[in-house]
């Protein structure tokens, strides 16, 4: 579901908005411009556009919806993954990509999404990576094994999710404190 929000919102706020909209009736008549661009089956509600897609093409269609929503400055909520994509704040690497082991790819992810998606690590989602292609990447797998590559591939283990979130936040914002706080091996 896509809609306008004046400031970034939490996953809980996005979920509540989605559930509230689902209890209302769709509107007929004029279709917003953004709805004309969205792939999949589109249903218009007051101030919101819901995109329905099948599971076989969910990753591809979701990526298109995220891109179109971002281009229009709109929030996007993915109820299947329970994740919200805000317009900002973004990391410092233009074109950075967020990849997950369950098939999600997001170009220029907002920092809140990166924070939330790290909690989804599981056998069904065996990795999360932030990639600045041609330069470097940071990746984590369940058990919190981190891999960082900028020339040489380095590995470390982190005991807590919050440490992983801090490392990913620092990586995305161009800080490198995570490299000196932990023991790395090549």
Bridge partners of 3, per DSSP, are: 48, 75
- Residue 29: pLDDT band (50, 70, 90) is confident
Query: Is residue 160 predicted with pLDDT exceeding 90?
Result: yes
**pLDDT confidence of residue 43:** 94
Q: Which of 50, 68, 87 is the last residue of a domain?
A: 87
Query: Is residue 1 predicted with pLDDT exceeding 90?
Result: yes
Helix (H), strand (E), coil (C) string for the chain: CEECCCCCCCHHHHHHHHHHHHCCCCCCCCCCHHHHHCCCEEEEECCEEEEECCHHHHHHHHHHHHHHHHHCCCEEEECCCCEEECCCCECCCCCCEEEECCCCEEECCEHHHHHHHHHHCECCECCEEEEECCCEEEEEECCCEEEEEECEEEEEECCCHHHHHHHHHHHHCCCCHHHHHCCCEC
Query: Is residue 19 predicted with pLDDT exceeding 90?
Result: yes
pLDDT in tens, 52-69: 998 888 888 998 999 999
100 lies in the same domain as 133? yes
42 lies in the same domain as 119? no
Average model confidence (pLDDT) for the chain?
94
93 lies in the same domain as 119? yes
Give the dihedral sign, CA 63/66/72/73.
negative
94 lies in the same domain as 167? yes
pLDDT in tens, 81-101: 999 999 999 999 999 999 999
33 lies in the same domain as 122? no
Q: Which of 56, 87, 118 is the last residue of a domain?
A: 87
174 lies in the same domain as 96? yes
107 lies in the same domain as 76? no
Please tell me the distance from the alpha carbon of residue 1 to that of residue 46, in angstroms, as a whole number. 12
For residues 114-127, average pLDDT: 96
Q: Which of 87, 112, 128 is the last residue of a domain?
A: 87
Name the pTM for this structure: 0.90
The domain in which residue 72 lies consists of: 1-87
69 lies in the same domain as 138? no
74 lies in the same domain as 105? no
163 lies in the same domain as 104? yes
Domain count, the chain: 2
17 lies in the same domain as 98? no
34 lies in the same domain as 95? no
- Residue 40: pLDDT band (50, 70, 90) is confident
């Amino acid at each position: 579901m896509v809609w306008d929000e004046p400031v970034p919102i939490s996953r809980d706020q996005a979920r509540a908005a989605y559930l509230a909209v689902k209890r209302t009736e769709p509107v007929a008549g004029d279709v917003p411009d953004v709805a004309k661009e969205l792939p999949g089956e589109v249903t218009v509600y007051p101030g919101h556009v819901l995109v329905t897609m099948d599971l076989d093409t969910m990753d591809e269609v979701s990526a298109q919806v995220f891109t179109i929503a971002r281009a229009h400055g709109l929030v996007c909520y993915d109820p299947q993954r329970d994740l919200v994509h805000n317009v900002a704040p973004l990391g410092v690497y233009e074109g950075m990509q967020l990849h997950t082991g369950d098939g999600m790819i997001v170009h220029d992810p907002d920092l809140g999404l990166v924070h939330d998606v790290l909690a989804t690590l599981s056998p069904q989602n065996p990795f999360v990576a932030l990639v600045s292609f041609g330069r470097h990447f940071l990746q984590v797998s369940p058990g919190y094994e981190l891999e960082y590559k900028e020339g040489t591939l380095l590995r470390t283990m982190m005991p807590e999710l919050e440490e992983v979130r801090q490392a990913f936040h620092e990586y995305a914002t161009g800080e490198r404190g995570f490299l000196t706080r932990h023991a790395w091996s090549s």
